[in-house]
Structure 1
């Protein structure tokens, strides 16, 4: 995995804070139970605290390292001359990893509404600073836009990417519209990779409703767990039909 030079914050930080507070509270209750000689309760609280702490470390690993390893592997298929768009790019974790694989003929565009509740420090300025730190600013464009109404023409990109962004759209109709927009801006024969830990069967169905046959849903693996396998990330991989 390549060395990162930007600063990418934490994904949805409040669940991580909740896990850490929960682990501390359970371990404190375990200690109190042992002091009071309530052994069964102490063992139960200790087990729960350690389990919650392990979940917190899983979440922390994914947001700081694991997701980068998964996306580095996924982006290894780029030739280097593609037009790439990252939908919900945030501070640029996936966008800039893609840009680093592009040659002078390629270009990477990031789209976001820049909401800090989705990621700490999620601003266009942060993404721009990271592009400079990674040495790819000259082939990166940043656009403020709604994923349900992308400001691009049809067939504008060779590759469409999105990582943990579509689930932030509150309604099922809105998420389906975002998938349709992703499909619209993808050129025939182009590659789509959508990673999320919620609603991925719906994303797949939205693509099949558009006539996409070359589409599959696959587990991204333990490196992309947000606390454990119950918050595993799934990748939708699809190719837009050429005919």
Structure 2
């Protein structure tokens, strides 16, 4: 278990443009009234202050609290291989790396700053250093729709607030299928995302996933309010059964 107050990394904010827009909606009317504008503009800041505050809390504290709980619940042994899709500056990447001191964690991203402020590979590497997990982490620049990774490689695949940034439904489906492809039999997939999460569950069920669920992360990950909640999608790839392969490793007919 890890205490979020001990974080050493610098993780920026998610969707900085949205946060700027909400913050601007609070400040701009006040500035306009101060410059002689109509006083009815004073009605706007209180309306936007709460959504802006909820968004800020979600990105600087709430998501960390939720992920700490989710990662603790995985009850990891400490030697697993784990993949973080859309790892950004490494908030989840480093949190899971602390839990697998004998394992490896791979982070994949295309490093777009529109998705996260200051998002680049150097920032992720720097945070891994600050969190003292750099020796356990590999960073890969790649599109999550076409992972340069083999089948059945990872014990756990995680993704936080990343897949929704793919604009097309087909692209999001490809990303979810890729996440499932690289998961080992018996492995666990955990996605935290908005807007399309229930569709991810449908894709995983169609691919053969078991022990699936889709739950609401709650107010700590409301992106301005309950109208943009974070949903947690969890699924397993069925474990291989004895007898599926014969003794020389070839599949039985």
Q: CA deviation at 1:24?
A: 2.4
Which residue of the partner structure matches residue 55 of structure 2? 59
Give runs of aligned pairs for residues 91-170 of structure 1, distance below 5 A.
91-104=89-102, 106-170=103-167
**Structure 2 stretches lacking a partner, 5+ long:** 241-253
Q: Deviations over 1:128-178 (max 9, x none)?
A: 010000000000000111101111111100000000110111111111011
RMSD: 1.6
Q: Which runs of 4+ in 1 moved over 2 A?
A: 24-34
Q: CA deviation at 1:213?
A: 3.1
Tell me, in whole angstroms, the C-alpha distance in 2 between the residues paired with 1:169 and 1:16. Answer: 19
Going by fraction, where is helix more abundant, 1 or 2? 1
**Structure 1 stretches lacking a partner, 5+ long:** 35-40
Tell me, in whole angstroms, the C-alpha distance in 2 between the residues paired with 1:238 and 1:109. Answer: 19
Q: CA deviation at 1:19?
A: 0.6
Q: CA deviation at 1:181?
A: 0.5
Tell me, in whole angstroms, the C-alpha distance in 1 between the residues paired with 2:129 and 2:145. Answer: 28
TM-score by length of 1: 0.91
Which residue of the partner structure matches residue 80 of structure 1? 78
TM-score by length of 2: 0.87
Tell me, in whole angstroms, the C-alpha distance in 2 between the residues paired with 1:148 and 1:125. Answer: 22
Tell me, in whole angstroms, the C-alpha distance in 1 between the residues paired with 2:210 and 2:94. Answer: 30
When structure 1 is superposed on structure 2, of 197-206 and 90-99 the one drifting more is 197-206
Which residue of the partner structure matches residue 209 of structure 1? 206
Q: CA deviation at 1:190?
A: 0.6
Tell me, in whole angstroms, the C-alpha distance in 1 between the residues paired with 2:238 and 2:29. Answer: 52
Say whether 1:22 aligns with 2:19. no
Tell me, in whole angstroms, the C-alpha distance in 2 between the residues paired with 1:71 and 1:90. Answer: 15
Tell me, in whole angstroms, the C-alpha distance in 2 between the residues paired with 1:120 and 1:28. Answer: 26
Q: Give the number of aligned pairs.
A: 233
